[in-house]
Amino acid sequence: MAELSKRERMAMSRTQMPTRDPAGRAATFDEVNLGFNTGLAVLEASRCLNCKRATCVEGCPVGVRIDAFVAHVAAGDISAAAAVVRDDNALPGVCGRVCPQEAQCEGACVLGNRGRPIAIGHLERFVADWALDHDEAPEATPPTGKRVAVVGSGPAGLACAGDLARAGHEVTVFEALHEIGGVLVYGIPQFRLPKDIVAAEVERLGSLGVSFETDVLVGPAVSLEELRDEEGYDAVFVGTGAGLPRFPGIPGEDLIGVYSANEFLTRVNLMKAFDPGAETPVYDLAGRPVVVLGGGNTAMDAARTALRLGGDPVTVLYRRTDAEMPARAEEVAHAREEGVDFRFLVSPIEFRGDDGWLGSVVVQAMELGEPDEWGRARPMPIDGMTEDVACDVAIVAIGNQPNPILAKATPGLETTARGTVVVDPETGATSIPGVFAGGDIASGGATVILALAAGRAAAAAIDAWLGADPS
């Protein structure tokens, strides 16, 4: 493409991501976004102004050199773009798909104030997918002879393992479940993040020399002390993530038909309950009313999954308004297009049912009051205004607490009152020397990219610690 002037670039509109048709896609688990082809990617990248002060980079929690990689894409050199992206982001194919870009890189792009930020996420995804198809084996680093155990295979653990392996350390990832990936495999659905993308990233780590042991619940099955004293690990990274789903604590929440989003999504994603031949059941949703409680990404995933299993209607009940929903903008838009209904300013107060089975949820009407300590308007009940909403299944997506098992089994590992592991924010160092932690287990429920950043920071700190460690 001929060199464009700044003015011409600014006049171009944002390249649309090709998507599957909403009507058809709501019946399948195939990925909704189809991805850019090279032509679309080059077109979109050519809009970038290559700002001197690239504010987009400041908006990315891991500082991906967006200006550099986008320029390579614009020049048609995808391989060079891939090298930049790979260097800065351990899981670019994942982040390109699931980061809340509008609040991060794209939110900080100078073109954003005209409503047309560069589609950085879509470009990152394009480059990452291209790289997976054109991957060369990563070069091996001379071994240091040091061994590191990584506990938990979510984004924090995977990112940490990758950097440590590249530094020449021998890394084993221990995972409790039977598959590697954490929330990326049991939580985020196929139609948003295909499982082969995660598998390819995991395979890449394998080719870097990372070993994986599934079916190991560290703590009960092997203590941190045993990993160090008997299995010869010199350091440990804890990336055990969020577990323990929260329930609203209202009458009837034990009725059959009330699922936590974790259980519902695990049954469908990890255990493949969407497949008619699967052995793990999920309640039959076909033609039945489903409600989802919450307004985050988990709620959107649950609602869109319920829709794909035939739920009719599927309604998201959220206690604030549209504007306060924490979910990614793209997910909310996709959910709407597919036919998910939204009801705002309602909060559940009771589940009702017959014979142990859910029949409806009573909701309390709310209004927005004074801002809370985070500056978000606090929802307040409107006296006397309640309503009975019929539903056969209710999916609760109001957050998780940290997984407590490892901390419980590890004396000396300091935790907060909320149950998160206490860490040095720079290094991830915990109260136990040689034990580092990061991701949701330290921050509380956050995002893939923040977990990844924490894993990488800890890897650097572990590398330094191992270098300094005389033993």
Partner 1 sequence: MEHGFPIRDLTPIADGVVRCVVEAPRVARHALPGQFVIVRVDVGGERIPLTVSDLDEPSGTITLVVQAIGASTQRLAAKRPGETLADVLGPLGAATEIEPYGRVVVVAGGVGAAIALPVARALAGAGNEVVGVVGARTRDALVLIDEMGSVCDQLLVCTDDGSAGRHGLVTDALSDLLDEGGVDHVFTVGPIPMMSAVAELTRSAAIPTVASLNPIMVDGTGMCGGCRVRVGEETKFACVDGPDFDAHLVDFELLATRNRAYRVFEQCRMAELADG
Ligand X SMILES: Cc1cc2nc3c(=O)[nH]c(=O)nc-3n(C[C@H](O)[C@H](O)[C@H](O)COP(=O)(O)OP(=O)(O)OC[C@H]3O[C@@H](n4cnc5c(N)ncnc54)[C@H](O)[C@@H]3O)c2cc1C
Contact residues for partner 1 (CB under 8 A)? 176-178, 186, 214-217, 220-222, 243-245, 247, 253-254, 256, 259-260, 262-263, 266-267, 271-272, 278-281, 283, 355-356, 403-405
String marking each residue 221-250 x if it binds ligand SF4 according to CB under 6 A = ------------------------------
Instruction: Check: CB of residue 327 under 8 Å from CB of residue 314.
Output: no
Which of partner 1, ligand SF4, ligand X, none interacts with 461 (beta carbon under 5 to 8 A by kind)?
none
Q: Based on CB atoms, which residue is closest to ligand SF4, 148 or 458? A: 458
Phi/psi of residue 39, nearest 5 degrees: -60, -50
Q: Phi/psi of residue 349, each to 5°?
A: -125, -15
Residue 89 touches which member of ligand X, partner 1, ligand SF4, none, C-beta under 5-8 Å by kind:
ligand SF4
> Among ligand X, partner 1, ligand SF4, none, what binds residue 64 when CB lies within 5 to 8 Å by partner kind?
ligand SF4
* CB nearer to ligand SF4: pick between 103 and 362: 103
C-alpha closest to that of 94 among 225, 240, 198, 20 = 198
Q: Are 105 and 122 in contact (CB under 8 A)?
A: no
Residue 130 to residue 136: CA distance in whole angstroms: 12
Nearest to 187 by CA among 195, 175, 197, 176: 195
| 131 belongs to the binding site for ligand SF4 (CB under 6 A) | no
Q: How far is the CB of 417 from ligand X (least distance, A)?
A: 20
Q: Which is nearer to partner 1, 266 or 360 (CB)?
A: 266
**Is the C-alpha dihedral spanning 35, 41, 44, 48 positive or negative?**
positive
- Residue 297 or 347: the one with the smaller Cβ distance to ligand X is 297
**Contact indicator for 403, 241 with CB cutoff of 8 Å:** yes
60 binds ligand SF4 (CB under 6 A): yes
CA 446, 448, 449, 451 torsion: positive or negative?
A: positive
Q: Does 128 bind ligand SF4 (CB under 6 A)?
A: no
- Total length of the chain: 471
- 49's contact among ligand X, ligand SF4, partner 1, none, with CB below 5 to 8 A by partner kind, is ligand SF4
Contact present, 327 and 192 (Cβ < 8 Å)? no
The least distance separating ligand X from the CB of residue 298, rounded to whole angstroms, comes to 4
Q: What residues from 75 to 94 belong to the interface with ligand SF4 (CB under 6 A)? A: 89
Residue 451 binds what, of ligand SF4, ligand X, partner 1, none (CB under 5 to 8 Å, by partner type)? ligand X
Count of residues binding ligand SF4 (CB under 6 A)?
28
Q: Which stretch binds ligand SF4 (CB under 6 A): 106-114, 158-166, 211-219, 435-443?
A: 106-114
Binding site for ligand X (CB under 6 A): 98-99, 151-157, 174-177, 182-183, 187-188, 216-219, 239-242, 265, 297-298, 301, 328, 403, 405-406, 439-441, 445-449, 451
Among 341, 340, 337, which residue's Cα sits nearest to residue 23? 337
Residue 389 C-beta: closest distance to ligand SF4, Å: 36
One-character DSSP codes across 386-402 = EEEEE-SEEEE-S-EEE
Does 67 sit near ligand SF4 (CB under 6 A)?
Answer: yes
The helix-helix angle for 195-207 and 155-166 (nearest 10°) equals 30
- Based on CB atoms, which residue is closest to ligand X, 180 or 208? 180
Amino acid at 467: G
Alpha carbon distance, N-terminus to C-terminus of the chain? 58
- Name the segment binding ligand SF4 (CB under 6 A); options: 98-106, 169-177, 281-289, 303-311: 98-106
Q: Which two tokens stand for residue 282?
A: 């999920």
Q: Are 85 and 92 in contact (CB under 8 A)?
A: yes
Q: Is the four-CA dihedral 328, 331, 337, 342 of positive or negative sign?
A: negative
| Residue placing its CB nearer to ligand SF4 in the complex, 55 or 144 | 55
